[in-house]
């Protein structure tokens, strides 16, 4: 699914990613943890093609295709979805129209006709129910005036609509109450198939109790310094990151 080798990236001339190696196979769920500022959001931004970041070294292949030379929208059409740590508001664009445009852009990329109106509405209903979001939200402008929790839930709804191959959830738990976290986790779990993969970026073991990754990585100072099973998340919850920082070889 995803193969990252020795990935280095900078922003504003400052090196943030300092040699990331990460392989994710079909059907796997990986968690990435790590202290604030370690580069977790940077990694997801680089994978989805955020132009603020410059890749200076290394490679990232997605299902055999060179991700780093692909336009951001093509990465999305190929099946990468990023749920943002801070979702943006798009005033004046209804959720319905936004989703229709996104789905039809993906279909055009695949050489398909736009989706029929009836089929689209059926899909919207099905996915709304899956994620448990209110119908009223789909008539409102994208994220405008949504509460933090509603924005996060809406991101999962968008993910469900687009049926990505690889979903990257960047701290989808922050700002969610426990019930909303359960709904998000259930949505993610229900969408998971042997052909899809998920990267969950989080600070909390609680979300990982619900999503259950097979592999947990700790990112520290731009490098993955530890990789283990789900028990690593529990250990971090109890011990913090200090003991892991000592595993890092430099500064």
Q: Is 246 in the site for ligand ATP (CB under 6 A)?
A: no
Determine the interface stretch with ligand ATP among 10-18, 88-96, 155-163, 232-240 (rule: CB under 6 A). Answer: 10-18
Closest CA to 125 of 116, 135, 115, 117: 135
Determine the interface stretch with Mg ion among 81-89, 113-121, 144-152, 179-187 (rule: CB under 5 A). Answer: 81-89
> What is the rounded CA–CA span in Å between residue 31 and residue 212?
9
Residue 185 or 201 with smaller CB distance to Mg ion: 201
Restricted to residues 85-114, the positions that interact with Mg ion (CB under 5 A) are 85
Minimal distance in Å, beta carbon 53 to ligand ATP?
8
Q: What is the CA radius of gyration of the chain?
A: 18
Determine the interface stretch with Mg ion among 60-68, 77-85, 107-115, 134-142 (rule: CB under 5 A). Answer: 77-85
Q: Is 37 in the site for ligand ATP (CB under 6 A)?
A: yes
Closest CA to 175 of 203, 194, 197, 196: 203
Residue 11 or 123 with smaller CB distance to ligand ATP: 11
Q: Are 205 and 237 in contact (CB under 8 A)?
A: yes
Q: Which DSSP symbol is given to 134?
A: -
Determine the interface stretch with ligand ATP among 34-42, 72-80, 144-152, 186-194 (rule: CB under 6 A). Answer: 34-42
Q: Which DSSP symbol is given to 70?
A: S
Determine the interface stretch with Mg ion among 26-34, 36-44, 188-196, 227-235 (rule: CB under 5 A). Answer: 36-44
Q: Is 34 in the site for ligand ATP (CB under 6 A)?
A: yes
Residue 19 backbone class (left: φ over 0; alpha: ψ -120 to 50; beta: rest): left
Binding mask 53-92 for ligand ATP (x = CB under 6 A): --------------------------------x-------
C-beta atoms surrounding 174 within 10 Å:
16
Residue 47 or 131 with smaller CB distance to ligand ATP: 47
Chain Cα centroid distance, residue 171: 8
Minimal distance in Å, beta carbon 45 to ligand ATP?
7
Q: Is 41 in the site for Mg ion (CB under 5 A)?
A: yes
CA angle (31 as vertex; 38, 130 as ends), nearest 5: 125
C-beta atoms surrounding 242 within 10 Å:
8
C-beta atoms surrounding 151 within 10 Å:
23
Binding interface with ligand ATP (CB under 6 A): 11-12, 14, 16, 34, 36-42, 85
């Amino acid at each position: 699914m995803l193969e990252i080798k020795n990935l280095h990236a900078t922003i504003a001339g400052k090196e943030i990613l300092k040699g990331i190696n990460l392989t994710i196979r079909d059907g796997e769920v990986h968690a990435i943890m790590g202290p604030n500022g370690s580069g977790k959001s940077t990694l997801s931004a680089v994978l989805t093609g955020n132009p603020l970041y410059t890749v200076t070294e290394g490679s990232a292949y997605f299902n055999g295709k060179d991700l780093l030379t692909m336009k951001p929208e093509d990465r999305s059409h190929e099946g990468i979805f990023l749920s943002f740590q801070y979702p943006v508001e798009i005033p004046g664009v209804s959720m319905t129209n936004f989703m229709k445009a996104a789905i039809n852009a993906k279909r055009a990329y695949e050489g398909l006709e736009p989706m029929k109106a009836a089929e689209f509405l059926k899909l919207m209903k099905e996915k709304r129910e899956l994620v448990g979001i209110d119908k009223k939200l789909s008539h409102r402008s994208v994220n405008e005036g949504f509460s933090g929790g509603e924005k996060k839930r809406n991101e999962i709804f968008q993910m469900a609509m687009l049926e990505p191959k690889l979903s990257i959830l960047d701290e989808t738990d922050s700002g969610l109450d426990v019930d909303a976290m359960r709904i998000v986790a259930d949505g993610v779990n229900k969408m998971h198939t042997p052909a899809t993969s998920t990267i969950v970026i989080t600070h909390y073991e609680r979300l990982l109790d619900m999503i259950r990754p097979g592999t947990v990585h700790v990112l520290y100072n731009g490098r993955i310094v530890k990789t283990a099973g789900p028990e690593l998340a529990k250990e971090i919850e109890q011990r913090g990151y200090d003991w892991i920082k000592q595993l890092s070889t430099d500064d």
